[in-house]
A and B are shown apart, each in its own frame.
Chain A
Amino acid sequence: MTSAAANRPFALLTRHFFRALFDFGVFTQEGADAFVRLILGVVSLIATFGLLLVYMYAKKYAALFAAPTGQPYAEALLADTTLAIALPMWIVAVITVLVSHSLFPDETDFRVLMPLPVDRTVIFRSKLAALAAFAALFTATAHAAMSPLVMLISAGRWAPDGVLLSLLAFWAVSVPASLFALVAVVAVNGALIALLPRGRVHAAVAAMRSAMLGALVLALPLVLALPAQSGRLAEQSRLMMLAPPAWFMGVDRVLLGHGERYFAELARIGGAAFALVAIVGGWSYVWLYRRFDRVMLHALGVSRRARSRRRRDNRPARAAVADFTAATLRRSALHQGVVIALSMCGVALAVNGAIRSGMAGWLSGANVPAREIVGAVSWMPIPLIVVLGVAARTSLALPIEPKANWVFQLTERDAIRGDQLHAAERVLTLFAVVIPLALTAPWQWLAAGPRAVLAAAITAIIGLLWVEALLRDWQRIPFTCSYMPGKHTVAQSSLAAFGIFVVGGAIGSGLEFLSLRAPSPVPAVVIGSVLVLLAALMRRQRRARWRATPLAFDDELPPDVVRFRLD
């Protein structure tokens, strides 16, 4: 047998596994194609973000290079190098968590491939190769996007090393740092699979995936705040030893011959952490490789006691869909992951706003102007309402088992349609009204006293209006309609979302501020009353439409040409 022929199964399987990484098992063929377009859009967005960073940093570094001493530059260099390493790490970690359902060969691979004359080693090697290729796609894009920034900050009169050398060192250190992020996710998943009883693995991996996504989203403000940590790095703060990107910045310094004790220590921690995750990740792969048949066959005999909750309702259809929705959100890793990851974006935005306005200092007794604090608590509900609402809607729009939807199609009738669709309204109200209210009302009370009651009412009204906006085109039972991601380009969607967020946020937080800070509560009460009427009207119209329009089970792409109707 020629070597080309011998390698063929490996190449074929690698290609197959690579494609499977883009398949969440819920898309139709058209949906999967649309998802690939979405991924390409995200990749181009990463590249654009890199260029935007260069633009933002050009001014900063012009000033630093013009400074009379090199000290401010040296401090900024450390922090910004850490940022350049951290961003690709974050991107690779997020992407790896998103595809963590395909990190290891699974039961389908076992059943389909093991009876074929394909060596088990080939299956595992192909899986690893596909994962490596997938990670390489995002690693290379992220590093290409960061390279202009590294070149910018390394080219100037205070720069200790040449541009080329700095760039080479960055790639030599940052690529392994991104690899560390990938292997860390593999190690956590692998350890769970290897160490937990089989009956608990599925639930534990799903929960861990949601937790990791949530943690990563919450970590993004910390990553973006790294340039502000230049002082800490210059003072050689031990706190930075808790930040993985700083470990690899230490390696970068050592590699470039600036190996002070502090950086050497950071580098040692980085090396040890890398070794640890590589050992755990490698061990879990080897463990699964050796026990592949036992693990996969044992999985069939699982008798997991699924937690079951049944609600009492005198409207059976409403209770049916409500229980179905709750069970899906509890048990589906994909849906849970989407709702948690996106929700954490809202939480991160709210927390970031609070930190920037000095709330942390105010809580510890520092003298912060009351106007600042009221401004912060007025803003806080807006990102929570907007982002949590979008998170819930996105999750409900993703199908779970499209071929099983016939049971809803068979039982659809005008009389119960409103009840069937009610579950979506209920979940969106929970996410866009109840949770933001519960999370922000105590802070508003702390900042403004009894006037917080009026602000809470305003929060609820804004949330209800947002629920109506999100349900404007909604005509589906949760999880039962096919899904086409990327109906608009990523840039188009991002701009629209940004616009809505800025304009809506300004109006919403202005109203909150009015309710908390205005001398008289009357204006807020009047505006709130008008908005309540508007929400009630929209709700009534929506419910009438729900009764009259058949349920949607197939999502469709918009027509190719979108007319702007400018004439």
Chain B
Amino acid sequence: MLELRGLTKRYGGHLAVDHVSFHVDRGEVVGYLGPNGSGKSTTVNMVVGLLEPTSGSIWLDGIRHSDDPAAYRGRIGYVPEEPYLYTHLTATEYLTLVGRLRGIAQARLDEKVPELLRLFLLWDSRYSTMAAYSKGMRQRVLLAAALLHNPDVLVLDEPFSGLDVNASLLFRALLGMFASAGRMILFSTHRFDMVEKVCSRAVILSAGRVAAEHAVAGDAASERDALERLFVRVTAQEDYQPIARRILDLVQA
């Protein structure tokens, strides 16, 4: 189980994440929802080990993250929100780089990397540097890199942005099977439809705090409506009809 206990991050006087606590059980996909600036990315960066929390702790299977950060990070796979990767490398070179940094033996990489490229539909572009890749292709490389070392926890920050329909379907199926194999997935997103299709539970963040937790169940359309209503209520979202009207009035003036 991945567990966040009172996780807090303060930048000078600004409190970005305020005592966030929740957990992800084995076999579970947890959606992490929140408006822009609510602290989602800061939480994700702390969970993957890129940021040190100001206070609070992260536990994985009963072991505190700070007791052995390197071992903890070795069990995490991460797909960042933007496809930041070294675009002067080919996908093969990038995956090999990540695999070696993760300590995977070369012989194993020689088997895994080409196969992953084929399965993620990147085989035809294996000789191109990633500078020539579309955003969706780069997302696929990042997901392949995140899965390469067979992590226990997968942390995804908006992984579906830029993906075409086929790749999205593949991602969804893959996430479902990965979780069924007893792994944990934390899935940060803005999209209710994705949470409804992929997640078993949603944690809603507002102004750096956990505002609600919601078990996803029932039929798709009603679930999405319920989640949307809950989101609007707990994150104190405004009524968007008058705002939309004012925008149109302004641009038409």
Interface residues of A (CB under 8 A from B): 299-306, 308, 310, 312-313, 316-317, 319-320, 323-324, 327-328, 331-332, 400-401, 403-404, 406-416, 420
Contacts and interface: CB of A to CB of B under 8 A. Distances in A.
Nearest to B134: A300
Interface string B88-111: 111011001111111111100000
Contacts of B99: 316
B49 interface: yes
Nearest to A318: B100
Contacts of A317: 100-101, 103
Contacts of B48: 410
12 contacts: A303-B125, A304-B129, A304-B132, A308-B90, A308-B93, A312-B106, A319-B100, A319-B106, A320-B96, A400-B88, A406-B80, A416-B101
A312 B96 CA distance: 12
Interface string B52-75: 000000000000000000100110
B222 interface: no
A332 to B, nearest CB: 6
B226 interface: no
Nearest to B89: A327
A407 B85 contact: yes
A414 B68 CA distance: 11
A302 B105 CA distance: 32
Nearest to B51: A409
A404 B102 CA distance: 16
A303 B132 contact: yes
Interface in B159-215: none
Nearest to B87: A401
B84 interface: yes
Contact of B92 (A308, A319, A400, A414): A308
- Interface residues of A, dominant DSSP: helix
A420 B92 CA distance: 20
Interface of B: 48-50, 70, 73-74, 76, 78, 80, 82, 84-90, 92-93, 96-106, 124-125, 127-129, 132, 145
B134 to A, nearest CB: 8
A306 B129 contact: yes
Contacts of B106: 312-313, 316, 319
- Interface residues of B, dominant DSSP: mixed
A408 B145 CA distance: 13
A306 to B, nearest CB: 5
A401 B70 CA distance: 24
Given A304-B127, A324-B89, A327-B93, A406 B103 contact: no
Contact of B101 (A306, A308, A320, A401): A320
Nearest to A301: B132
A-B complex: 8 closest residue pairs judged by Cβ atoms: A320-B100, A413-B70, A316-B100, A411-B101, A403-B84, A305-B127, A404-B84, A331-B88
Contacts of A401: 84-88
A401 B94 CA distance: 13
A304 B89 CA distance: 12
Give the one of B80, B93, B97, B103 with max A CB within 10 A.
Answer: B97
B1 to A, nearest CB: 21
Nearest to A315: B100
A304 B97 contact: no
A140 to B, nearest CB: 36
A318 to B, nearest CB: 9
Given A327-B89, A416-B103, A300 B132 contact: yes
Contacts of A327: 88-89, 93
Contacts of A416: 101, 103
Nearest to B78: A410
A93 to B, nearest CB: 27
A359 B119 CA distance: 63
A319 B93 CA distance: 12
A413 B100 CA distance: 13
Contacts of B84: 401, 403-404, 406
Given A306-B90, A406-B84, A407-B98, 6 more contacts: A302-B132, A305-B127, A328-B88, A406-B78, A411-B101, A412-B70
